Amino acid sequence: MNTAETRGILCIWTDIDPQYELDFNRWYDREHMQERVAIEGFQYARRFVATSACPRPYLALYYTDNQGVFTSEAYRQAFSQQTPWSLENFTRMRGTQRRVGRLSIEAGAGEGGALALFVVPAEKLKQSATFAAIETRLIELTTQDHVVSACLLQTDTALSTPVTANAEPAPADALVMIEASHEDAALQQARSLAEHLGLCADEVFSFKTLWRLAS
């Protein structure tokens, strides 16, 4: 699909120093989500927290009209002029993965209270059959009980500038995200797809929705 025809997305997947966790959540809930959603071209934002052991227990997703929003003057200004509270929290975040890209596959409709995700490594994504296999399976999954939607985030490495110290630049990988009304359904289907792609099911992580903010 053409990038201009697909929605853009920013994904922040992170851990936080436990002694600052309350302030981190206050920042997200009282400033950062509102600040980003106010940028022209942003549609809405969502926050999640992991429901079991996860190296990065917090997930934030920001949906935009298209990927070009992340090269707009309004976004560049917001990104280059972070608030003091943002800069403070960036120093406390750990193992952060920042991905900017496009939703090259979107299947189903609506949002689930449960979300399961896994990373498709760049080398796997380069294989010609991988994208087609993911698209076919994601469409099929949305016909299964409790599954409401599924998508593929393809990372744009040039746009995925790290915001935290010592963070590795994002590779040209992808995230598969499956949403369901029941946690077990999202997790089971994501694990099944990961195994189908030759990936480790133990690297599939489950989240529940915290809240959503629309523009």
pLDDT digits (tens, 9 = 90+) for 146-180: 999 999 999 999 999 999 988 988 999 999 999 99
**DSSP category for residue 98:** E
- The pLDDT value given to residue 1: 39
Beta pairing partners, 100: 10
What Cα–Cα distance (Å) separates residue 89 from each residue in 16, 32, 95, 149, 204? 9, 11, 13, 32, 26
Q: How far apart are CA 93 and CA 114, in angstroms?
A: 24
- CA 47-13-158 angle, 5° bins: 120
**Token pair listed for 39:** 């940028």
* 47 phi, psi to nearest 5 deg: -120, 145
**DSSP category for residue 2:** -
Largest CA distance in the chain: 46
Which residues have a Cβ under 8 Å from the Cβ of 80 and sit 6 or more positions away? none
- The pLDDT value given to residue 166: 87
Q: How far apart are CA 199 and CA 194, in angstroms?
A: 5
Structural domains of the chain, ranges and CATH numbers in brackets: 3-214 (3.30.70.100)
What Cα–Cα distance (Å) separates residue 189 from each residue in 13, 49, 137, 176? 21, 19, 10, 11
Q: How far apart are CA 207 and CA 116, in angstroms?
A: 6
Q: How far apart are CA 212 and CA 172, in angstroms?
A: 27
- The pLDDT value given to residue 172: 97
Enter the pTM of the model: 0.96
- The pLDDT value given to residue 5: 75
Question: What is the separation, in whole angstroms, between the first and last Cα of the chain?
Answer: 26
pLDDT in tens, the chain (215 residues): 344 479 999 999 999 999 999 999 999 999 999 999 999 999 999 999 999 999 999 999 999 999 999 999 999 999 999 999 999 999 999 999 999 999 999 999 999 999 999 999 999 999 989 999 999 999 999 999 999 999 999 999 999 999 998 898 899 999 999 999 999 999 999 999 999 999 999 999 999 999 999 98
Beta pairing partners, 179: 115, 149
pLDDT in tens, 109-133: 999 999 999 999 999 999 989 999 9
Q: Are 33 and 47 in contact (CB under 8 A)?
A: yes
- The pLDDT value given to residue 66: 98
DSSP codes of every residue in 43-73: EEEEEEEESS--SS-EEEEEEESSGGGGGSH
